[in-house]
Amino acid sequence: MYILIVGCGKAGSYLANSLSKKGEEVVVIDKKESAFNNLTSEFTGFTLLGDATEFEILEEAKIEQADVVVATTTNDNVNSMIAQIAKEIFGISKVLARVFAPRREEIYRQMEIDTVCPTTLSVMEFERAIFDS
């Protein structure tokens, strides 16, 4: 599988390392060169330096060939825009976006973008830990 990851922060790089270790083809985009320091020796994919809200960068990453696109930047609106471009313009069937503000999740659903919300997930985990103990 070719998986395109946008954002090489803590989450993006973790995912990239993990998927790469599993033998998937991974390309990671970040606009900061230093972000790629988060990648470990397990990572065998490619890195691309640039702003993924620029269409040309997505083209350079051969987004049209991607099986999965994951937008993991720390900016909800950037993730939303990239996810929409991947889905609506390039017709990528599996697109995931990270969204921090739970209030925005509803709109993402209306736009039919699958989301992962770290805030909601943490709260659920906290609650589970509290009530299970």
Partner 1 sequence: MKVIIIGGGKVVYFLAKTFFSKGYEVSIINLDRDYCEILAKKLKANIICGDGSDPRILEDAGALQADLVVALTPNDQDNLFICQLAELKFDVPKTFALVNNPTNEWIFQKLGVTKVISTTSIVSSLIEQKVAVDDITNLLPVEEGRVTISEVVINNDSPVVGKRLKEVQLPKESILGSIIRKEEVVIPSGDTELLVGDKVIAITMPENQGQVFNVLLGSENGG
List the x/- string, 81-100, binding to partner 1 by CB under 8 A: x--xx--xx-----------
Residue placing its CB nearer to partner 1 in the complex, 101 or 130: 101
Q: Is 56 an interacting residue with respect to partner 1 (CB under 8 A)?
A: yes
In 3D, which of 121, 27, 14, 9 has the Cα closest to residue 74? 9
List the x/- string, 101-120, binding to partner 1 by CB under 8 A: x-xx-xx--xx---------
Q: Is the torsion defined by CA of 70, 72, 73, 75 positive or negative?
A: positive
Considering only 5-13, 26-34, 50-58, 117-125, which stretch makes contact with partner 1 by CB under 8 A? Answer: 50-58
Q: Where are the alpha helices (DSSP H) in the chain?
A: 10-21, 55-60, 76-84, 102-110, 118-132
